[in-house]
Amino acid sequence: MSASKTPPARVLLEVKDLAQHFGGLKAVDQVNLTIHEGEIVSVIGPNGAGKTTFFNVLTGVYPGTRGQILFNGQELRGMAGHDIVAIGVARTFQNIRLFAHMTALENVMVGRHTRTHQFLLGPLLRTAAFKNEEKAVEVMAKELLEFVGLKSLGNELAKNLPYGAQRKLEIARSLASEPKLLILDEPTAGMNPTESQDLVALVRKVRERGVTVLLIEHQMRVVMDISDRVFVFDYGVKIAEGKPREVVANARVIEAYLGKEGAS
Amino acid sequence: MKKALAWRWTPWVALALAAVFPFLAATLDAQYLVRVGGVIGLFMLLGLGLNFTLGYAGLFDLGFIAFYAIGAYTTAIAMRAGVPAPAALVLAVMMSLAVRALLGLTILRLRGDYLAVVTMGFGEIARLTINNLDALTNGPKGLQVAPWRPLAFLSADPNIQYYLLILIAVAGGVIASSRIEDSRVGRAWIAIREDEIAARLSGIPVRHYKLLAFTISAAFAGLAGGLFAQWEQFVTPESFVFWESILVVSIVVLGGMGSIAGVLVGALVLVGFPPIMQWKLSADWINYRYLFFGLILVLVTLFRPQGILPSSRREAELTS
Amino acid sequence: MLVQQLVNGLTLGAIYSLIALGYTLVYGILTMINFAHSEVLMLGAFMALGLAALLPAIFGEGLVGLAGMFVLSMAGAGLINVLIERFAYRPLRHVSRLAPLISAIGVSIILQNGVFIWISTQSLTFPEPVAIGQVEVFGATISSLQVIILAAALLLMAILHFFVEHTKLGKAMRACSDDIQTAGLMGINPNYIIALTFFVGGALGGAAGVLYGMNYGSIKYNLGFLPGAKAFTAAVLGGIGNIRGAVLGGFILGFLEVLASGYIPNGAQWRDVIAFTVLIIVLLVRPSGLLGEKLAEKV
Amino acid sequence: MTFRKALVVAAVALSAACGPKDTSIKIAVAVPLTGDMGTEGQGLRRAVELAVEEANASGRFPYKLVAAPYDDRADPKEAVNVANLIASDPRVVAVVGHYNSGCAISAAKVYARAPVAMVSPAATNPEVTAQQNSADWAGPRMVFRVVPTDDVQGSYAATFASKKLGKKRMALLHDKTAYGQGLAEQFKKTFLEQGGKIVSEDGISVGDKDFKALLTKIKNDPSKAEGIYFGGLYTEAGLLLKQMRELALKHPFAFISGDGSMTFGLFDVAGDAADGAYLSIVGVPADELASAKKFVEDYKARFPNDERKPFDHFGYEAANIIMAAMERAGGPDRVKVIEELRKTKHQGVLGTTVFDDKGDTTSKIVTMTRAVAKKRAFDSVR
Domain ranges of chain D: 3-148+288-349, 151-282+366-380
Q: Closest Cα of chain A to B276: distance in Å?
A: 36
Q: Which residue of D has its CA nearest to B141?
A: D178
Contacts of B142 in chain D (CB under 8 A): 101-102, 105, 125, 127, 178
Contacts of B129 in chain C (CB under 8 A): 273
Contacts of B57 in chain A (CB under 8 A): none
- Does the pLDDT of residue A1 top 50, yes or no? no
- pLDDT tens digit sequence for B72-90: 999 999 999 999 999 999 9
User: Alpha-carbon distance D77 to B36, whole Å?
Assistant: 10
Report chain D (382 residues): mean pLDDT per 10 consecutive residues.
52 51 86 92 96 95 94 95 95 95 96 96 92 92 91 91 95 93 94 94 90 91 92 93 89 92 89 93 75 91 90 94 96 95 94 93 89 89 80
Partner-chain residue, chosen from A105, A157, A177, that has the shortest CB–CB distance to B203? A177
pLDDT, residue B225, reads 98
Contacts of D85 in chain B (CB under 8 A): 32, 275, 278-279
User: Alpha-carbon distance C63 to C73, whole Å?
Assistant: 15
User: Alpha-carbon distance B271 to B243, whole Å?
Assistant: 13
Contacts of D214 in chain C (CB under 8 A): 261-262, 268
- Residue B109 near chain A (CB below 8 Å): no
Whether D182 and B141 lie within 8 Å, measured CB to CB: yes
Q: Which residue of B has its CA nearest to C89?
A: B302
Q: Closest Cα of chain B to A83: distance in Å?
A: 7
pLDDT, residue D11, reads 54
Do chains B and C meet with 3 or more Cβ pairs nearer than 8 Å?
Answer: yes
Region for residue B198 given its phi and psi (left: phi exceeds 0; alpha: psi -120 to 50; beta: otherwise): alpha
Q: Which residue of C has its CA nearest to B126?
A: C273
Q: Which of residues 104-133 of A touch B (CB under 8 A)?
A: 105-106, 109-114, 116, 118-120, 122-124, 126, 130, 133
- Does the pLDDT of residue A2 top 60, yes or no? no
Q: Which residue of C has its CA nearest to A59?
A: C299
Q: Enumerate neighbours of A (3 or more CB pairs within 8 A).
A: B, C
**Coil, helix or strand at residue D230:** strand
Contacts of C299 in chain A (CB under 8 A): 52, 56, 61, 93-94
**How many helices (H) does chain A have, and how many strands (E)?**
11, 10
Beta strands in A143-227 (DSSP E): 181-185, 212-216
Among residues A67, A89, A78, the alpha carbon closest in space to that of A183 is found at: A89
Helix axes B158-181, B31-50, angle to 10 degrees: 30
Tell me if C79 sits within 8 A of C87, measured CB to CB: no
Region for residue D28 given its phi and psi (left: phi exceeds 0; alpha: psi -120 to 50; beta: otherwise): beta
List, as one string, the DSSP characters of C252-296. Answer: HHHHHHHHHHHHSTTHHHHHHHHHHHHHHHHHHHSTT-SSPPP-P
Q: Enumerate neighbours of B (3 or more CB pairs within 8 A).
A: A, C, D
Buried residues in A113-126 as b, exposed as e (16+ CB within 10 A): bbbbebeeebbeee
Beta strands in D12-168 (DSSP E): 25-31, 65-71, 92-97, 117-120, 143-145
- pLDDT tier at A8 (50, 70, 90 boundaries)? low
- Does the pLDDT of residue C173 top 90, yes or no? no
Interface test mutation site (partner D, options B31, B32, B284, max chain D beta carbons within 10 A) = B32
Which listed CATH number (3.40.50.2300, 3.40.50.10440, 3.40.1230.10, 1.20.950.20) goes with D3-148+288-349?
A: 3.40.50.2300
pLDDT, residue D309, reads 86
Mean pLDDT of B32-44: 97
**Coil, helix or strand at residue B59:** coil
- pLDDT tens digit sequence for C233-242: 999 999 988 9
**Coil, helix or strand at residue D62:** coil
Whether A61 and C298 lie within 8 Å, measured CB to CB: no
Contacts of D7 in chain B (CB under 8 A): none
CATH code linked to domain D151-282+366-380: 3.40.50.2300
Contacts of B305 in chain C (CB under 8 A): 91-92, 95-96, 99
Contacts of C121 in chain D (CB under 8 A): 38-39, 42, 306
Q: How confident is the prediction for chain A on average, in pLDDT?
A: 91
For residue A74, give the H/E element and its range. Answer: strand A74-75
pLDDT, residue D1, reads 41
- Does the pLDDT of residue B260 top 70, yes or no? yes
pLDDT, residue C64, reads 77
**Coil, helix or strand at residue C298:** coil
Mean pLDDT of B120-141: 95
Partner-chain residue, chosen from D38, D204, D209, that has the shortest CB–CB distance to C121? D38
- Residue A155 near chain B (CB below 8 Å): yes
Tell me if A232 sits within 8 A of A201, measured CB to CB: no
Q: Which of residues 252-271 of B touch C (CB under 8 A)?
A: 253-254, 257
Interface test mutation site (partner A, options B175, B187, B202, max chain A beta carbons within 10 A) = B202
Partner-chain residue, chosen from C27, C91, C272, that has the shortest CB–CB distance to B302? C91
pLDDT, residue B71, reads 98
The whole-model pTM stands at 0.94
Q: Closest Cα of chain C to B294: distance in Å?
A: 4
Partner-chain residue, chosen from C113, C121, C134, that has the shortest CB–CB distance to D39? C121
Whether B188 and A119 lie within 8 Å, measured CB to CB: no
Q: How far is CA C119 from CA B279, B292, C47, C80, C116, in A?
A: 26, 17, 11, 17, 6
Q: Provide the 10 A C-beta neighbour count for residue C39.
A: 31
Q: Closest Cα of chain B to D27: distance in Å?
A: 12
Domains of chain C: 2-285 (1.10.3470)
- Does the pLDDT of residue B2 top 70, yes or no? no
pLDDT, residue C255, reads 94
pLDDT, residue C296, reads 59
- pLDDT tier at A263 (50, 70, 90 boundaries)? very low
Q: How far is CA D189 from CA C233, D179, D183, D197, in A?
A: 39, 16, 10, 10
Q: Which residue of C has its CA nearest to D267?
A: C125
Partner-chain residue, chosen from B191, B315, B320, that has the shortest CB–CB distance to A102? B191
Same fold for the pair D3-148+288-349 and D151-282+366-380: yes
Q: Enumerate neighbours of C (3 or more CB pairs within 8 A).
A: A, B, D
Whether D19 and B282 lie within 8 Å, measured CB to CB: yes
Contacts of B296 in chain C (CB under 8 A): 106
Tell me if B249 sits within 8 A of D55, measured CB to CB: no
pLDDT, residue C157, reads 93
Tell me if B223 sits within 8 A of B92, measured CB to CB: yes
Q: How many CB pairs under 8 A join A and C?
A: 6
* Lowest-confidence pick of A118-127, C105-114, C290-299: C290-299
**Coil, helix or strand at residue D145:** strand
* Backbone φ, ψ for residue C214 (5° rounding): -60, -45
pLDDT, residue A243, reads 93
ipTM score of the complex?
A: 0.92
What is chain B's length? 320
- Residue D352 near chain C (CB below 8 Å): no
- pLDDT tier at A264 (50, 70, 90 boundaries)? very low
pLDDT, residue D22, reads 65
Q: Closest Cα of chain D to C254: distance in Å?
A: 10
- Residue B135 near chain A (CB below 8 Å): no
Q: Which of residues 317-376 of D touch B (CB under 8 A)?
A: none
Whether B190 and A105 lie within 8 Å, measured CB to CB: no
Contacts of B283 in chain D (CB under 8 A): 19, 66, 68-69
Give the end-to-end CA distance of chain D in Å, rounded to a whole number. Answer: 72
* Lowest-confidence pick of A236-240, B314-318, C110-114, C249-253: B314-318
Beta strands in C95-185 (DSSP E): 124-125, 134-137, 140-143
